[in-house]
Homo-oligomer: A and B are copies of this chain.
Amino acid sequence: MDARFLDHPRDRMVDAAVMGLRACGLAGAGVNQVIAASGAPKGSLYHYFPGGKLQLAREALERFGEQRREDIEAVLAVDGPVDQNIRRIFKRMAKAMSAEGFRFGCAVAGAAVDLDEGTAELAPVCHAILETWVDAIAAALAEIPAARRRPLARFIVTALQGALVQARAARSPQPVLEAGEIAASLVRAELHPS
């Protein structure tokens, strides 16, 4: 039998957990929510994820992290000044958030701010994903001196995360667009120190 067909409900569950995390953090990636959203049969969680909801959350975070890293890399691969590409990352996020009615954010942020004793093992998963985004941005800042490259790349991820929190509260793309302008200006200042 086709392995991809067998994997289908499992895949849908991971996708449902990603959307749940993006909408309302770990509470959105709970068993009942994921079963309801994915249409997977009740009781199938432990069949597909022997490690239970933490395994599901981890796989959802990793899937989301990889998709976003690819998105970031695709924007940064566009021919042109890197500061404009950095701004473009924020613009795309602002546009996507508006299209989704500000109901969804970053799955990693959703999990990271929800961690308690029972879910603490997801912290290093979140951290590792954030670092892949920092790596992707740092790689595009190759013209900036090495010592300043990584803190700046991490700060751009910080700005993305914070802008997203503000945009969800404000139901407005404005904080994301403003953050993009300032992030781009920071990159410009490093590229062309006066």
Contacts and interface: CB of A to CB of B under 8 A. Distances in A.
Interface in A83-122: 102-103, 105-106, 108-110, 112-116
A123 interface: yes
A161 B182 CA distance: 16
Tell me the number of copies of this protein: 2
B157 A166 contact: yes
Given A23-B116, A114-B27, A163 B162 contact: yes
Interface string A57-91: 00000000000000000000000000000000000
Contact of A166 (B25, B28, B152, B158): B158
Interface string A33-56: 000000000000000000000000
Interface in A140-194: 151-152, 154-155, 157-166, 168-171, 175, 178-179, 181-182, 186, 189, 194
A169 B24 contact: no
Given A24-B26, A109-B113, 7 more contacts: A24-B115, A28-B114, A112-B166, A126-B169, A130-B166, A155-B179, A157-B162
Interface of A: 23-28, 102-103, 105-106, 108-110, 112-116, 123, 126-127, 130, 151-152, 154-155, 157-166, 168-171, 175, 178-179, 181-182, 186, 189, 194
